[in-house]
Structure formats: C-alpha cells, structure tokens
Amino acid sequence: MPPLTGVKVLDLTNVLAGPYCSYQLALLGADVVKAELPGQGDLARRLGPEADLNRARLGASFLAQNAGKKSIELDLKTEEGKARFEELAGEADVLLENFRAGVLDRLGFGWDRLRALNPRLVYCAISGFGQDGPMSQAPAYDQIIQGLSGMMAVTGTPDTAPVRVGFPVCDTIGGLTAALHICAALAGREESGQGVFLDVSMLEAAISAMGWTVSNYMVSGVETAPMGDQNATAAPSGTFRAADGPLNIAANRQQQFETLCRLVGRPELLTDPRFAGREARKAHREELNKQLNAALGQRTVREWEQLLTPAGVPAARIVTVSEALELEQLAHRGFCTDLPFPDGSDRRLRVSGSGVLHDGQPLRPEAPPPRLGQHTHEPVWKSAT
C-alpha cells in the first residue's frame, strides 16, 4: 500500500511547481482534489504543443502532472465557493496553493482561520520568494527564478552565458521541496497532533539545490564561471568528441583517469607532469581535452561506451528526450505508465513516475488526469465514496 494512502490533499495550484508537488503526493497514494476556477481551470490545461488539446483544456503540460487527481470547479470569490472551500479544508490533511503571497489571506482564509477550522491541517504555500520580505509581492515564473538564483549566470559558456536551463528546473525543485516538507510535516503531526504552515520559496529552494556552485562562493569566496559542458571540479570530465558524435566522460578519480588513458591508447599522458594530479589536470584542461579528443575520434560513441563503462570509467552517449524515454532501463523499472486518454478517445496517454521503487515496485497513478470540473458534483474524498 502506498505510504500516503488515506491522506487528503486539497490542491489549489496552477501550472507546474504546485501541480508537480501534488502529483508526487498522488503517486505516493494521497487522495488529491484539484480545485479549479470555473470555466477556466489550471492554465496548464491550455499549454502544450497541440492546439486541439489546448482548446479542449487538456494541454500536454496539464496531462503530464495531474494523473490520478480529481477536479472540482470552485470560485473563492463567491459565497458558495467559500462555503465549499471551508468544508473541504476542514476535512483535508493538506492544503496546497501557489498564489502570490497573501492572496488566500485576503480572501478570508489566512493561516489563523484555517488553523482554527482544522488544527491538524498542513498548509503549504509555494511562491516565488516566500510570504514576506521586499520581493514577496513580485510575480515569479521559472525563468525569473533561474535568473535571480544565479543559475543562468553559470549555464552556458563564457561566450553564451547567461543561458536558461532547457526545462523549468526551478519549478520542479520548488515542487519537490514542497512535497518533501509536506511529508515531513505529516510525519511530525503524528507526534504533535498539530498542523503546520509551510512557506516555500522557489528562489531559496533553487539556490539550496545549486550545491557546489553556491558553496564555493560561501565558503571560499570563489565565483563560479560558466564552463559549458565541462565539470569545474575535475578533469577530464565533460563532453568529448568520438568519431560519430559527442560522448560524456566523467573520469573524476585518479584510477578512472589512469584507466581512461590506457584504454584510449594514450598511456604517456600518465607521466606528463601537466596531468599528474587533479589540480594539474584542471589547470591544463584545454590541452588534456585536445589530446583525448584526438584519441577518442578513432571509435564511435557506442564503441567507447561499451569499452569504458565496464572498466569503471563513467561514459555515455548524449541522447534526445525521445531517445531517453526509450531506454531499456526505464522500461525495466516501469518508470512510465500508460493510461486511457481523458476524453475517451483511443489515444494512449503515457505519464512519468517518481523514479523511486517501493519494495521493488513503481508507484503509478490510478486514473488519467481529470477533465475540468469532472468531480464537482460527486463525493470527492475516497473515504466518502
């Protein structure tokens, strides 16, 4: 049985950070009810590469993050909507929203009222910058957070930076951070009996996730420079050129470097003082890469991958998203799930999993994403059905 079975989540979120969070909770077994604005719904319903799906309020961006949830139409600016919300919030274990800071409070449902209504409620608010502070009212999308976190400044090469990361990484990190802390709050509630207010800042979550890029400056005062496909912490570590295309190699340890040099037929590099140790190799990265690229050009990417990987040298081809989704490893672990299409057509809907096996089994959504308002006039919690 999934670990969050029986947990009731009232989800007021839109687009990605919040819906990604509640999708992770749904995969873990939570009963997620998505409250959407009547006639409009989540903006993600209108986002995706297929215009027909967007018009049908079934955009690909929505379908990707909302399988297994229920949908009700709810207008918090009407008395009827407020009454329904109060009823649902009183029954819920988790309330999740990603409005601009203070919006729910101005609608009459601040934390004080919600806590009085439901003392065991875990209320999680995801916003760009947090609920207070000088930037709390500024609008924030993923690209804004990428820029303000320093992420774009270290992405790309010295000639091309700043570059946006190719997917909404800050939204995703914000959603994962929220899901982690919701699970922690639910566990803590078992001991205290009390709910908690979680104030998630996407900016802070993004900076926290940047790891060494941030700690190098905080600890040593070193500002990270963009290095393209190269790893600043080691050499040779980055993207190299095989006979038929790019190849990633991460020979971050001395033994891996020694094995690499032998297998590419360049053992003399091991006695070159410029490449004798980690710091020396980093200082002479450009020349080392030149030497290795000349040797790697003698075989194909696949040949090098099959030679280096079994010898303990991390090496792999670079693939497209479609190729990644066809990797045998994903199929072996049951990462993707096929579901009926929400509109009842014969089309297949494939959605991703969480990347974690529970006792050897992947967690899968139980139903396709909901149509807008599909469950408005039905009992929404599983325990009530």
Active site residues: 171
C-alpha dist (Å) from residue 88 to 32, 122, 206, 223, 343: 12, 13, 32, 48, 27
Q: Which amino acid is at 35?
A: A
Q: Which two tokens stand for residue 176?
A: 């994962």
Beta-carbon contacts of 225 under 8 Å, excluding residues fewer than 6 positions away, are 154, 158, 232
Query: Which residues have CB under 8 Å from 4's CB, separation 6+?
Result: 25, 28, 29, 30, 183, 186
- Maximal C-alpha separation, the chain: 79
CB neighbours (10 Å) of residue 372?
22
Name every residue whose Cβ is closer than 8 Å to that of residue 365 and which is 6 or more positions away in sequence. Answer: 23, 26, 27, 67, 68, 337, 339, 351
Which of 193, 188, 201, 196 lies closest to 95, judged by CA? 196
The closest of 148, 215, 146, 209 to 173, measured between CA atoms, is: 209
Question: CB–CB of 236/259 below 8 Å?
Answer: no
